[in-house]
Amino acid sequence: MTDSPSHDDIVLLARQAGLNLPPAYLQELVEAYGNVRQMIDRIPTGRPRGDEPAHVFVPTKFLPAGQ
Amino acid sequence: MDLPHDASRLDLSDPTSLGIAELGVAIRSGLLSPVTLTQACLDRIARYDNVLHSFITVTADRALASARAAEAEIAGGGYRGPFHGIPYALKDIVDVEGVPTTAHSRLMPDTPATADAHVTALLEHAGGILLGKLGTFEFALGGPSWDLPWPPPLNPWNTDFLPGGSSSGSGAAVAAGFVPAAIGTDTGGSVRWPAACCGIVGLKPTYGRISRRGVQPNTFSIDHCGPMTRTARDCAIMLAASAGYDPLDPGSADEPVPDYVAALSGDITGMRIGLIRNWYAGEATEEVTEAVDRAAALLATLGAIVEEVVLPDIGQYADAKTLISMSELYTIHAPDLRTRPEMFGAKLRQRVMGGVFIRAEDYLNAQRWRADLARGLNMQFSRFDALVTAGWLNAADPADPNGADFFRRGRNVTMPFSVAGVPSLSVPIGFGAHGLPLAMQVAGAPFAEATVLRIGHAYEQATEWHTRSPILHSGVSA
């Protein structure tokens, strides 16, 4: 998303993601959207398909207690 | 050597003025009772913490009972080691069986924790005397906050200022002499920032070095626990007591715990140190820049080979860290945000809610970017034994409820080492305007805690910043 969405668009985005805040907090939500969007736009993209993120699953880390 | 082995040379008239190493010598020799020491700390808390607000819960009865038990055990020949009989406190996101964990938040239930955190259990096993739970930013993120049931801790050096955060109570309590040791947690700098602002030593160890089981999460993939003390030697002692593998923490590292104290030779001759000046020159205040430059020059006079190195802009690390954190934080707090947003402090709510807009694609791209940044930083450890930069970009912030929100600045000199998960030690290097402390960071390769402690200790041996104490004022009229 590169266009600047409206206040109502941002509220709708959050609602569709399951966050339906009372009106008192909607201005905070709009400001948060702007901050997040700027950070996302600064993260490099266009990476190779196999580029592994900085988290891994180690199966032995999730054994039941005692094993 | 900086530590008297002869306990009779120690001035025990005010044991709260001493650090872990000195107290350990006195306790082991029998010249100082853990009960006397614990009572002195409790008296100091009772007298001064009504101004500083560093503690949320003081566990006085439990502490005195533990101190009496330690006294009897030591008298019976059962001395456990240098942490035996030492008072300590925990950031109040760390569980203690039988004591509520508030996380400095209205969101937490007012019920006692049912088990000790792994780090609590290790410190108790080492013989530590728990004095209580310390103030924090709400859930180690939302603060400083004036809209919560507990006021934010203040800076012991100047109560018009804050102690940094999020381990704000930990920094204030150690600097104030309430305890010689505290545990903080650090996701983006929350041990090192308050250590820098309070003129104490704080270590963010390698990711996985200290277990996070029983600690309220901030960001699973970046959370660390770390010791906060008055000296590097004390930090080494507390790290040894709190580090170790925990199979029930998926992030815990199964690595041996070396003898950190033995590494404190005082000699850094020939060590190669990279000075990351571009992270603070032009970014930090003038007093911070000058102090870090002087500290690096002193390391060179001590025999280290100091060479300037340029690394990527700190904003890149901050973007990666913040996006990862907001995603994980949102996962943790979304159920409460959906159902009772009014229970959040405003700062926590504002910092969490943006996570709803971060897609899986964005989160994983941030994790990919983190991998690049970590590789680039770790490459430096083939050239250098350690990296040095500013501890924080400014001295402590004013205690102003309407002050600028630090998190909006986006320029954070501690986050690069958080992103890379490598050990980073904050060491006091002087004082600036308003009598407030300044600091540098010394960072090393993964699990090279002994190296950064050795450099911090050598710096301390050549300076006296760590020996200064704030003058406290009681808020209670006689």
pLDDT of residue B408: 63
User: Does the beta carbon of B280 lie under 8 angstroms from any beta carbon of chain A?
Assistant: no
> Does the beta-carbon distance from A36 to B248 stay under 8 Å?
no
Tell me the one-letter amino acid at B172: A
Q: Give one word for B430, left, alpha or beta, with left for phi > 0 and alpha for psi -120 to 50.
A: left
Record: contact B250-A13, CB cut-off 8 A: no
CB-defined contacts A:B, below 8 A: 88
B contact test, residue of A20, A35, A67 with most B CBs within 10 A: A35
Name the residue facing A22 among B341, B362, B365 (closest C-beta): B341
Number of domains present in the structure of chain B: 1
The per-residue pLDDT for A59 is 86
Q: Which of B334, B353, B408 sits opposite A29 (nearest CB)?
A: B353
* Tokens matching residue B72: 């009897």
User: Tens place of pLDDT for every residue, chain B, 478 residues?
Assistant: 456 567 888 999 999 999 999 999 999 999 999 999 999 999 999 999 999 999 999 999 999 999 999 999 999 999 999 999 999 999 999 999 999 999 999 999 999 999 999 999 999 999 999 999 999 999 999 899 999 999 999 999 999 999 999 999 999 999 999 999 999 999 999 999 999 999 999 999 999 999 999 999 999 999 999 999 999 999 999 999 999 999 999 999 999 999 999 999 999 999 999 999 999 999 999 999 999 999 999 999 999 999 999 999 999 999 999 999 999 999 999 999 999 999 999 999 999 999 999 999 999 999 999 999 999 999 999 999 999 999 999 999 999 998 877 666 678 999 999 999 999 999 999 999 999 999 999 999 999 999 999 999 999 999 999 999 999 988 754 3
Query: Of all helices (H) and strands (E), which one includes residue B22?
Result: helix B20-29
Burial bucket for residue B439 (CB in 10 Å: 0-12, 13-18, 19+): buried
Does the pLDDT of residue A67 top 80, yes or no?
no
Q: What CA–CA distances, in Å, run from B369 to A35, B183, B185, B366?
A: 18, 30, 24, 5
Question: Strands B437-443 and B386-390, how do they pair?
Answer: antiparallel
Residues belonging to chain B: 478
Residue B201 is given by DSSP the state E
What does the pLDDT read at residue B170? 98
Each residue's pLDDT tens digit, A1-54: 456 899 999 999 999 999 999 999 999 999 999 999 999 999 999 999 999 999
Cβ–Cβ gap B353/A53 under 8 Å: no
Burial class (CB in 10 A: 0-12, 13-18, 19+), B292: buried
> Could you tell me if B253 lies within 8 Å of chain A, comparing CB atoms?
no
Mutate to test the interface with B, among A25, A28, A39 (most CBs of B within 10 A): A39
What are the E-state strand segments in A7-65?
Answer: none
The domain ranges of chain A are 1-44
- B84 is in which domain, residue-wise? 9-467
DSSP state of B388: E
Closest CA to B261 of B286, B235, B281, B227: B235
Contact between A17 and B356 using a beta-carbon 8 Å cutoff? yes
Phi/psi of residue B169, nearest 5 degrees: -65, -35
pLDDT of residue B477: 41
Rounded to a whole number of angstroms, the distance between the first and last alpha carbons of chain A is: 47
pTM: 0.97
Q: How far is the alpha carbon of B201 from chain A, nearest alpha carbon, in Å?
A: 29
A47 touches chain B (CB under 8 A): yes
Inter-chain CB proximity A13 and B357 less than 8 Å: yes
Q: Is B354 on the interface with A (CB under 8 A)?
A: yes
Question: B326 in contact with A at a CB cutoff of 8 Å?
Answer: yes
Most A CBs within 10 Å, among B368, B407, B412, to test the A interface = B368
CB contact under 8 A, B354 and A18: no
- Give the helix ranges, DSSP H, for B354-397: 360-379
DSSP state of B136: -
Tell which residue, B135, B140, B141, B128, has the closest CA to residue B154.
Answer: B135
Instruction: Give pLDDT, residue B1.
Output: 45
Which residues in chain B touch residue A20, judged by CB atoms under 8 angstroms apart? 338
- On chain A, the residues whose CB falls within 8 A of the CB of B316 are 42
Q: Are A47 and B368 within 8 A, CB to CB?
A: yes
CATH of the domain at B70: 3.90.1300.10
**Amino acid identity, residue B184?**
G
Of A28, A37, A43, the CB nearest to B353: A28
Using DSSP's 3-state secondary structure scheme, residue B182 falls into strand
Chain-chain contact of B353 with A44 (C-beta, under 8 angstroms) = no
d(CA B220, CA B188): 12
Closest to B430 (Cα-Cα) out of B306, B290, B264: B290
How crowded is the C-beta side of B309, counted as CA atoms within 13 Å?
A: 23
> Is B91 a residue of the active site?
yes
Please state the ipTM of this predicted complex: 0.94
A42 CB near a chain B CB, below 8 Å? yes
- Has B190 been annotated as catalytic? yes
CB atoms within 10 A of CB B253: 19
- Which pair of structure tokens corresponds to residue B240? 């040894």
Tokens of B284: 């930090």
| Cα torsion B368, B373, B376, B377: sign | negative
Chain A residue nearest residue B347, CA to CA: A28
What residues are paired with B89 via a beta bridge?
Answer: B132, B182
Active-site choice (B33, B167, B168, B190):
B190
Please give the Cα distance from B93 to B108 (Å, whole number). Answer: 10
Which residue in chain A has the smallest CA separation from B420? A54
B29 is catalytic: no
Q: Does residue B225 sit at the A interface (CB-CB below 8 Å)? A: no
CB of B93 closer than 8 Å to CB of B140: yes
Cα distance between residue B439 and residue B197, in whole Å: 8
> What pLDDT is attached to residue B404?
73
CB-closest option in A28, A43, A44 to B349: A28
Q: Is residue B477 part of a domain?
A: no
Q: Among residues B66, B166, B211, B418, which one is catalytic?
A: B166
> How far, in Å, CA of B330 to CA of B107, rounded?
15
A44 in contact with B, Cβ within 8 Å = yes
